[in-house]
Structure 1
Amino acid sequence: MTEAGSEYTLEYLLAFDGREHHYPDGYFVKFEIKRIDPTPERPHGLRYSFTLHGPEGTRLIGFDNAHPVAPVGGRYKKKPETADHWHRTESDLGRPYRFVSAEQLVDDFFDEVERVLTHHGIELVVIATTERKTS
């Protein structure tokens, strides 16, 4: 993707901040994304949280960079420098995620949304969209 195309994708994604997409039977996804000054933990200059929730509001999966997580495979592995990670299940404490681009983040998130919704027998169709204020 060209740099201009990548910037367009990022701007498009930033416009999703505060948006919720609702699926049948009460499942929904929430998007929180802000541009920030780059830091060692967030070198791409984004603070984000994309989550899929069940009907009771329980987070089923999530991609975020709110905090660093331990590497998978043991305490002797080097801790990731970035805070990017994802939660594959509702009880998963998080596993490192390699942020490549905003476009890849969205693709990876929706691949997991599709996996979980399909597992629960939920149709992959957005039935409503809402906006809410984020900080």
Structure 2
Amino acid sequence: MSSADEHTLAFLLAFDGRIHHLEGGYWLKFEIKHMPVTSQRPHGLSYSFTLHDPDGARIMGFDNAHAVPPKGARFKARTPQNDHWHRTVDDAGRPYPFTSADQLLADFFAEVRRILTERGVSDTVIGEGAIEDKEA
């Protein structure tokens, strides 16, 4: 792992338990932990990055909590990795090709911007908190 990758990973792990409050009542939730490397998590990370609407419903997310079938065909072989993303509220998940922590962050924030732009909401962070604060 390069020093740039190590720096990004340390930055990403520091996000664990963080909530970013956005305009209009939208918010982002970050959960990430270093785990032993497995075939399901070859990068050694367990993560869930989600965008929530003002009512608290998840409207988009990237995670690796469970495997999802490949998109498009019943007969495609499943990949052993659990990395996937939920593009919409109703999306059961589609495989996500995890390449690096840096790319995961870039892809997550690109989707956040896309969705919020479609809804006419700014992606400016107006406050930060912890998951415990939101769940209390």
TM-score normalized by structure 2? 0.95
Identity of aligned residues (%): 55
Segments of 5+ residues of structure 1 without an aligned counterpart are none
The alpha carbon displacement at 1:132 in A equals 3.1
Count of matched residue positions in the alignment of Structure 1 and Structure 2:
132
How is 1:45-124 mapped onto 2 (pairs within 5 angstroms)?
Answer: 45-124=44-123
CA distance in 2 between partners of 1:76 and 1:43 (Å): 24
After superposition, the CA RMSD in angstroms is 0.9
* 1:29-60 CA-partner distances (Å, limit 9, x unpaired): 00000000000000000000000000001101
* 1:95-125 CA-partner distances (Å, limit 9, x unpaired): 0001000000000000000000001100121
1:21 aligns with 2:20: yes
1:8 aligns with 2:4: no
**Structure 1 runs of 4+ with >6 Å offset:** none
Segments of 5+ residues of structure 2 without an aligned counterpart are none
The answer as to whether partners of 2:68 and 2:95 remain within 8 angstroms in 1 is yes
The alpha carbon displacement at 1:80 in A equals 1.3
The alpha carbon displacement at 1:85 in A equals 0.2
CA distance in 1 between partners of 2:99 and 2:74 (Å): 25
